[in-house]
Amino acid sequence: MDKYKLIAENITVSYNNIISVKNITMKFKANTVTSLIGPSGCGKTSFLRCLNRMHDMNKNVKVMGKVVIDNTDLYLDNMNPIYHRRKVGMVFQKPNPFPTMSIYDNVTAGLRLNGIKNKKILDGSVENSLKLAYLWDEVKSDLKKPAIELSGGQQQRLCIARALAINPEILLMDEPSSALDPISTQKIEETIMNLKNELTIIIVTHNMQQAIRISDYTAFMYLGKLIEFGETKKLFTAPTDPLTAKYVKGFFG
């Protein structure tokens, strides 16, 4: 039996009583990359945002089901989601560094939120996180520069570094390279491949080639349902569901 890092059980999400994710159950193994693919509006992002209770920000969203991380259900009533959210990092579609802060302050924002003020720890974390995100060489001489002056691709890698700085065990990525050029995309993909040794990654992507390149497992979603979930190679070469076959061959989506 493999040990599962994260288990999502019977997840149903509704926005204003319109159901967007229907009863999805998925298990994610530690130190793997899993891609969620499917046409726009199929509920990929809604599902991803359940995994760290990101939906708490919007009161119109209702989530049912269980998300178990290390044997604890994230949706238990007495659970403090903030503690767990700090274990699950997230990178968004559009780079969103804090515009008024420097590169250094952006990376350390999570640690400072957790009350760490020791300069040595912060310095170490900045170097370590930026190295993991493949940004260190480009910015090491200029850490006090405002984050907003970086290019789009650099900003996105800065956001990855910011998420990594609090040592999350799981990293959620919502189409992290959809707003970026091919070279930045390639760098982000390299980053993801290297991060696999450190943590478990779940990534939403529109780009099937990207899913093939970077992920160990792939899940195909359609109209809020999980159609097929398995090893990437198998899903793309020998899908069991006819709908998956149609999608991966590019007939719709």
Partner 1 sequence: MFMELKPPHNLFVDKIFKIIIITSAFYILILIVYLIIKLFLESGPIWQEIGFSFIINSDWNTIEGRESFGALPYILGTIVTSIIAMIIAVPLSIGIAMFASYMPKESHIILNFIIDLLASIPSIIYGLWGLIVFRPIFVKWFEIPINSTLGEHMWLFSGIPLGLDIITASIVLAIMIIPTIASVSREIMKSVPLQQQEAAFMLGATKWEIFKFAIFPYAKAGLVGASILGLGRAVGETMAITMLIGNATGVFALPKSLFQAGQTMSSILANEFIEASPLSLHISALIGIGLILLLFAICINIIAHVLVVRMLKVREGLINI
* Contact set with partner 1 (CB under 8 A): 52, 54, 56-57, 59, 82-83, 85-86, 89-90, 92, 94, 96-101, 109-110, 113-114, 146, 148-149, 159, 162-163, 166
Nearer to partner 1, 116 or 243 (CB): 116
Amino acid at 117: K
CA distance 200 to 173: 11
In the complex with partner 1, the residue whose CB is nearer, 65 or 110, is: 110
- Of 107 and 248, the one with the shorter C-beta distance to partner 1 is 107
> CB 106 → partner 1: shortest distance, Å?
9
CB-based contact 130:161 (threshold 8 Å)? yes
CB of 99 to partner 1, least distance (A): 5
User: What six digits make up the tokens of 8?
Assistant: 């999502």
Shortest spacing between CB 1 and partner 1, in angstroms: 31
Q: How many angstroms separate the CA atoms of 238 and 147, rounded?
A: 44
Identify which of residues 75 and 92 has a Cβ nearer to partner 1 in the complex: 92
Q: Are 146 and 99 in contact (CB under 8 A)?
A: yes
> C-alpha dihedral over 55, 30, 111, 91, to 10 degrees?
-50
Both tokens assigned to 172: 């959620």
Q: Are 22 and 38 in contact (CB under 8 A)?
A: no
Cβ 112 to partner 1 shortest distance, Å: 8
- Strands (DSSP E) contained in 164-247 are 170-174, 200-204, 217-222, 225-231
Report, in Å, the least distance between residue 243 CB and partner 1. 32
Nearest to partner 1 of 90, 188 (CB atom): 90
* Residue 100: both structure tokens together: 């008024």
| Coil, strand or helix at 82 | helix
Report in angstroms how near the CB of residue 219 gets to partner 1 at its nearest. 22
- Residue closer to partner 1 (CB basis): 83 or 238: 83
